[in-house]
A and B are shown apart, each in its own frame.
Chain A
Amino acid sequence: AGGGSGPVPGDGTDPPAPERVLFPPTFSVSEIKNKQRRHFMFLRWKQQQRKEKLALKKKRRKEREALGDKAPPKAIPKTIENQRVYDETTVDPNDEEVAFDEATDEFAPYFNRQTVPKILITTSDRPRGRTVRFCEQLATVIPNSHVYYRRGLALKRIIPQCIARDFTDLIVINEDRKIPNGLVLSHLPDGPTAHFRMSSVRLRKEIKRKGKEPTEHVPEVILNNFTTRLGHSIGRMFAALFPHDPQFIGRQVATFHNQRDYIFFRFHRYIFKSEKKVGIQELGPRFTLKLRSLQKGTFDSKFGEYEWIHKRREMDTSRRKFHL
């Protein structure tokens, strides 16, 4: 420590640091006991590191230019998406097994155009203003949907009634401390139930530069990045909310974009300015979902058969591993 702090006292007093500071090799900034001096030395060390880095960059760039055409191609930067751990359940578009499964699963009637989606939107008990408004806006976004108040009814009793009245999907928005924070999406005649955690909900008035109200036209649906089997089934669940034939006159599009297990929902109006440029304008609410569990039957938290539950200890171990 004595040897290490040799150059320090003098340097601490004069502000302009010398260009090249030679530290004795065994010196480390963290050994200085005095906080002010230590901080100062650390800043100087940081500056030095930055300079070195800049010099290195310049050198590399010069080399690259010098080589000209023969330069090796630029390295692709590593991103989390690049480094993603390969999930063995990734769906291959030509997979027959998947295609067969999809032809026979609960959404087959929808995709064969036998059923028209009819959605019931409700909340948990005693919803506060924000949640109510969000429900209303969601109802404008999703065609053929109805909002009903909960009034303390048990979900298990609502579900048979819904089935009797021909509803195909049930959305329950859970609320906590006056903001919506959870979403339960249940496909009704006996379909899977997905429970999501909902975050960053923005109502229409909170969106900047928003357009007018969404019209009654049936919007298009975009589902991005649902690669694994699980993601595929969730994607189909979302697709089953919207009627099959979008009305292109309305020029509205609802997007479910999956990125790193977060599903971002946006609702836009688009206009093609030319065939290579399209302008989009955000209407409608936006929110993000994170899947918590997927259950095989309709909503039944005690006796249901869970297809997938997010288990934090097992599944959150790697930063490069995603499930959707």
Chain B
Amino acid sequence: MDFQVVVLAGGTSKNLTPLVSKEVPKPLLPVANRPLLYYVLHQLEQSNLKDLIVVVEGEDAALLVGSWISGTFVDRLHVEIAAVPEDIGTAGAIRAISHHLTTKDILVVSGDLVSDVPPGAVAATHRRHDAVVTAMLCSVPVSGPSESGSSGGKDKAKKPGRYDIIGLDPGKQFLLHIATGAEIEKDTRLQKHILHAVGQMEIRSDLMDAYMYAFKRSVLQEVLDQKDTFQSLKHDVLPYLVQSQLKSEALLNGIPQAEENGNEKFSSQNNQVLVSQILFNSSIPSFHKISSVDPDGSASIRTHKCCAYIASSSSYCMRLNSIQAFMDINRDVTGEADYLLSNTSSDHNNVIGPSPKLGTKTTVGPHCMLGEGSEMGDKCQVKRSVIGRHCRIGSHVKVVNSVVMNHVTIGDGCIIQGSVICSNVQLQERVVLKDCQVGAGFVVTAGSEYKGESMARKEK
């Protein structure tokens, strides 16, 4: 279908500091015992997109990700890994791989997207409107531990209103304004001429930019070439394209064909004009066309279209860009959105891997996941938690609303609530953790109590 897919997998994200490390870059962060990247790749595979470019920040991370992909998706996907230096931003990443992009349109997907929205829908919308950029918007997910009631200080710190302000046309097809949460301080500026052209704009703050974009390749490359300062697709490129959509002469000069005047060559120039005019006249005009036609009737101003695909509210869509989101996604993937894990046949709402050893009177509640080879002692309780592979959990341990990764040793009598415990952590006896993050390889001494803290091993 003439689309190339670029997955921006990221590297060691700072937002997730205790969880990700050099050994476990963000793409490989286990979510419900699967690396985060799996969700994106799996979904692309489902949509029959088998040629992918995965961009990873950092050489080491790229090696790790590459080996994981080749191990998991061998014979199923054709993946090329590109390693880019860290901190060059998403726009920089695209710039770096720009010479590999050849097709007419490009689908850019963030590697931290966990969603069941079909990418084909975004691409189809893009094609149908012949847009320059199409962004997928999804409704803002319900964040926070909604049912548990344990709202720690860390979650409260998350400011409300960090979401994007998005302006749409009445038909909800075109993107008229976009301002991402971080940039909005008190007020946001709207483009008057766009408002004038459209007549009516719907401003919404309940939508989130899901970081799945379809770009017209030529335009994207040109923007990236011309604007060296652009760092991020979301913060720089997209707003730029949206703002300049009605006066894009400068932008599209290098492109031989205007979008709506097809790319057909006719023997007679006159006939071509007529053909395009017939097509032009008999398609439903968007405001672009109306505003691009001068009062004297000649189409003089070049415009381009920025479209939006709004995912239906029933679909699941979430980005893993904070620790809270990590918790939420873990909860959802094991719980209500368990269809994202394709091969689970969970009849009774919890997934227990092969050969777990459970002690007597140990209960594993619904919405739980237990990796293979994990052992649990007597009288343990596990509720709404994910426990990784080869964990050893002692007796009288309570794990609620938590994520425990692989190879974790938990001593007797520990109580863990709302926490993330990374791989190879050792919790000694009677540790009480509430809303904590414990970095990989950390050792929590016996009898200690922590609340709302984040612990990590000192870097040597």
A and B pair up: no
